[in-house]
Amino acid sequence: MPELPEVETVMRGLAPAMVGARIEAVELRRAGIRFPFPPRFGERLTGKRIEALTRRAKYLLVRLEGGETLIAHLGMSGSFRIEDMTPGAFHRERSKDPKHDHVVIRLDTGTVVTFNDPRRFGFMDLFATEGLETHPRLSALGDEPLAPGFDAARLAALLAGSRAPLKAALLDQKRIAGLGNIYVCEALHRAKLSPFRPAGDLADARGSPTRAAGALAKAIRAVLQEAITAGGSTLRDHRQADGALGYFQHAFEVYDREGAACSRPACAGTIARDAQSGRSTFYCPECQK
């Protein structure tokens, strides 16, 4: 499933083409994706100017004039494609099979934005912009790890008292929103922390951040920012809005590298894989303590 960097990359790719444009027409090629579309979905979108495009955790938020926001989730295999349909414009080769194009949005600029989702785990919804944080999919989300206030102290406060394994706690979207399996594995390796140690160890008896909390907060931010710069990670389905692949997967230090030598200088460890909460955890038993 796309994680925060992939969704942020998609958002940044869509924004120049969509913000300020008006939706001229919406074509729905099925009654829904993962869930049915909301009532009068196409009608409520048509004619609206797009005021802003933002992200919350793994959700894209398209703020429309008139007081509603389009909420979009990529699911497992969803992607957006931008095509310039003005006469004489260059057309990039399609990056996805058009039989999986489910929503086609035509803008007054001549641009067409298409949502493609072969596995149909994505979804779209419309909700009042005022009070958007009360939407059932958004109301329980935790802190944004790239927010200015996300530091060692905040991370320690979120994890204080938890006996859950550190990796499981970091994947809890009610604590930290947007982190997924790939980037948690990578951040823990950079911080030299075992995915199995108790999460509460990152706060001392007074609730203050330990040195490990500082290292992990810094590693989380660095990994996410580097992945965004690289356009995310393309393991199977993720593509940027222009059809290009992400390439952060070429910088993985532990994820999907079972049996490889640890990349940390002077570490003689070998990357291991263990099952943790039904997911594969990749780590170096030698340097992650």
Is 136 labeled as catalytic in the residue annotation?
A: no
Rounded CA separation 160/145 (Å): 17
**Confidence (pLDDT) at 84:** 82
Query: SS3 of 120, please?
Result: coil
3-state helix, strand, coil in the chain (%, to 5): 25, 25, 50
Q: Give the amino acid at 103.
A: V
CATH topology of domain 4-134: N-terminal domain of MutM-like DNA repair proteins (3.20.190)
Is 3 labeled as catalytic in the residue annotation?
A: yes
Kindly give the parts of the chain with pLDDT less than 50.
Answer: 90-94
Q: Which is the catalytic residue, given 2, 5, 145, 195?
A: 2
Q: Which is the catalytic residue, given 3, 6, 8, 83?
A: 3
152-283 and 4-134 share a CATH fold:
no
CB atoms within 10 A of CB 65: 12
Domain ranges of the chain: 4-134, 152-283
* Short-list 238, 233, 224, 236, CA closest to 255: 233
Rounded CA separation 282/284 (Å): 7
Q: Which is the catalytic residue, given 34, 226, 279, 286?
A: 279
pLDDT digits (tens, 9 = 90+) for 179-205: 999 999 999 999 999 999 999 999 999
Q: Give, in order, the Cα–Cα distances in Å from 222 to each of 5, 98, 147, 192.
A: 11, 36, 13, 14
CATH topology of domain 152-283: Helicase, Ruva Protein; domain 3 (1.10.8)
Q: Which is the catalytic residue, given 48, 58, 190, 239?
A: 58
Is 16 labeled as catalytic in the residue annotation?
A: no
Q: Over the range 269-280, which residues count as b (16 or more CB within 10 Å of their CB) and which as e?
A: eebbbeebeeee
